[in-house]
Structure 1
Amino acid sequence: MTVLTFCLVVVAGFFAGLVGYVTGIASLISYPALLAAGLSPVSANVTNTVAMVAVGVGATAKAGAAVNDDSRSLLLHAGCAALGGLGGAALLLTTSAEVFAAVVPFLIAAASASLLLQPKLRELAGGRSFPRLYPLATAVVALYGGYFGAGVGVMFLALILVCTSETIWRASVLKSVLTGVANLVAAVGFAVFGPVHWVAALAMGLGAFAGGWYGPPLVARLPPTAMRVGVALCGFGLAGYLAIG
């Protein structure tokens, strides 16, 4: 990889991290950038998972203390995300991703619809939280994230906003923490068994860390309803892109 390509991947990583924090669709930028840098599809997929750990690290470093007021709950859900991410990585390394890819657009579209309908869903739930469903669903979403990854941030954001009464700012930070944990566990497996391109992962990770760092202040300035609808529309766009891709 040339110095110019390295720098371009860093820039792509920054925008992937920033967009990924705000919308949850970082892979729409990072994955094509890695392909353009010359990586094979399989190598780009696992390298992207390793690099996107940095988004969660950057966001947590910037705003993680704000969601650590209930450390027991945070540890529980982080543990579920870790188990799910490990299972997803194991599936990816032992099965064909093409089997699961067929249903991915529908999963992302369903999560996007949940975001659009979130106020109504919370109203129907009577404002209740779902302490049993939430951890289980966290593990399932993380399983998907470790296996395929595209749009997992949208799914986590929808899950948190539907199952809890968290504000969208806190939900965005929690989404990044859980996504980062799932990616980290999967990345460990890929580091040992997968074809990670480490120079590209370093370049993408450097940019992604910066993007994750600047994400929380940006979200804090965005109108909550506009952001929720915007993320949902981006999710529908990603679902359509994957469906016809």
Structure 2
Amino acid sequence: MSLGALAVLLLMGTLAGMINAAVGSGSLLTLPVLLALGVAPGTAVRTNTLGILFSTVGSVAGYRREIAAERAAHRIGPLLATTLVCSALGSCLLLVSPSEALDVVVPVLIVLALVLVVSQKRITRAIAALRERRSARAGVAEGAPGGAEGAREGGAEGARGGVYTSPALLASMGVASMYGGYFTAAQGILYLGVLGAFTGRAMTSINAMKNLLSLLVNATAVAVYLAAHWIWGAPIVWEAAAAIAVGALAGGYGGSHLAKRLPESAMRGVIVVVALVALVRQVL
């Protein structure tokens, strides 16, 4: 691979790292470059995932305090386990499925993520109302002190520390993680949409968890791809992966500090713009 091509990949890796730290989908900058250089789709995905892993390393380093606070305040073990298992399944699926499947899956999931992001507040209110009605019915049926009022207070108390453990959230994140292991591009947008919709928290608050989950997914995918490379020779373009990795590491760390300063409205706007660009690139 020429020095010019490696320089372009370095630049795109840096920009991708910054975008990944803020919203995700930075791979939609680096992956098309690999494809334009004549790298086969499956090889390009493996090469890109190996390089872009370092963007999540950088962004997690930048968000280390926020991640520590999330771990102290909430139970994240079930979410991490779900993400790990499902991303491994997605990575294995890539190794055995035709690359043409990406043309169908990616646009659908990007549209779904956009709907979740744009409708987050409405979805959150609907979920909260449903939980409140269930808690009220449970309180009346069990004769809870204070009736529905007591049931609501008890439900709120029981929910503390469990914001990431609802079955609906885990199921949705499982599907998103399978996609992330299969095709890393735009996974951050999916994670922000799902986490925001099911927790009701601001985008700026859940971005740290999004970056941690993205690191876990990418690391799992890389482990599967490296095993496939060493066992039966699944190709990886090492020099291209290295160029992306260097830029992505710097961009991820720098982008994490920029993302912390973005207000939620700006964060939501960036997500919509990036997702629309990603959708146009995939469709065209």
Shift of 1:20: 2.3
The equivalent residue for 1:10 is 10
Shift of 1:145: 1.0
Q: Quickly say closer, same or farther: Cα 1:69–1:52, change in 2 above 3 A.
A: same
Aligned residue identity for 2:93:
L
Shift of 1:70: 4.2
Match 1:186 to one of 215, 221, 228: 221
Tell whether the 8 Å contact from 1:161 to 1:171 is kept in structure 2 after alignment. Answer: yes
Tell whether the 8 Å contact from 2:169 to 2:198 is kept in structure 1 after alignment. Answer: yes
Shift of 1:98: 1.8
Shift of 1:37: 4.4
Shift of 1:12: 1.4
| Number of equivalent positions | 244
The equivalent residue for 2:241 is 201
Shift of 1:237: 3.0
| Matches of 2:248 and 2:112, distance apart in 1 | 27
- Give per-residue Cα distances to partners, 1:4-45, cap 9 Å, x unaligned: 433332221000111222231212211122234453332211
Q: How does 1:131-146 map to 2 (within 5 A)?
A: 131-146=166-181
Structure possessing the higher radius of gyration over alpha carbons = 2
Give the unaligned 5+ runs of structure 1.
none
Percent identity at matched positions? 27
- Give per-residue Cα distances to partners, 1:133-175, cap 9 Å, x unaligned: 2222222111011112221111011011111133322322211
Relative to structure 2, which stretch is displaced further, 7-16 or 63-72?
63-72
Shift of 1:181: 0.8
Tell whether the 8 Å contact from 1:55 to 1:176 is kept in structure 2 after alignment. Answer: no
Tell whether the 8 Å contact from 1:16 to 1:211 is kept in structure 2 after alignment. Answer: yes
The equivalent residue for 1:41 is 41
The equivalent residue for 2:209 is 174
| Matches of 2:185 and 2:60, distance apart in 1 | 21
The equivalent residue for 2:83 is 81
SS at match of 1:69: helix
| Matches of 1:224 and 1:189, distance apart in 2 | 35
The equivalent residue for 1:236 is 276
Shift of 1:56: 1.2
Q: Quickly say closer, same or farther: Cα 1:197–1:227, change in 2 above 3 A.
A: same
Shift of 1:124: 1.9
Question: With structure 2 as the length reference, what TM-score do the two structures score?
Answer: 0.79
| Matches of 1:6 and 1:89, distance apart in 2 | 26
C-alpha root-mean-square deviation of aligned residues, in Å?
2.0
